Amino acid sequence: MKNQTRQSEFEKFRAQWQLMSLFERFEQVIAVLLSTVIAVIIIASLLQLMRVVWSLLIVDAFNPLDHKVFQTVFGMIMTLLIAMEFKHSIVRVAMRHDSIIQVKTVILIALIALARKFVILDVESDVASGKIAALAGATLALGVTYWLLRERDDRLREN
């Protein structure tokens, strides 16, 4: 069943390819290339993460309660999540589900990046309160913007 779905997706893409303008084909090729590059980066990052965690487990007697280790490992994991979300948005364009990168997706990626920044932020060092306030303000602004866009999309779907 899954093979049939994949084949019908491919045939649908071939039919769409015939109808695309030269620029739309160019966009498709770029989206596929970007997706491939990001996939390679994700795999390399995952291998690096596995190497670091393995090293911490075997050599350094991994202590997940040590906040420095926690920040390092979860910072790396969140970086992978950001890359995967970014790749997912490009794949949606390549599969013709969306015509361009959606603003909501970019805002979501920015929110994840800010969450990562908060996780890896070392408050014991001299972090200026202005920097924390700026990060909090950016998070609030992006969160409100994402919420407003989602509300708008929900209303459009109802109509």
**Sequence-separated (6 or more) residues with CB below 8 Å from residue 146:** 104, 107, 108, 111
pLDDT tier for residue 60 given thresholds of 50, 70 and 90: low
pTM greater than 0.75 (yes/no): no
Instruction: Identify the three-state secondary structure at position 125.
Output: coil
For the chain, domain boundaries = 2-158
* 64 alpha-carbon distance from chain centroid: 25
* 120 alpha-carbon distance from chain centroid: 17
12 or 38, which is more confident?
Answer: 38
Of the segments 26-30, 56-60, 113-117, which one has the largest average pLDDT value? 113-117
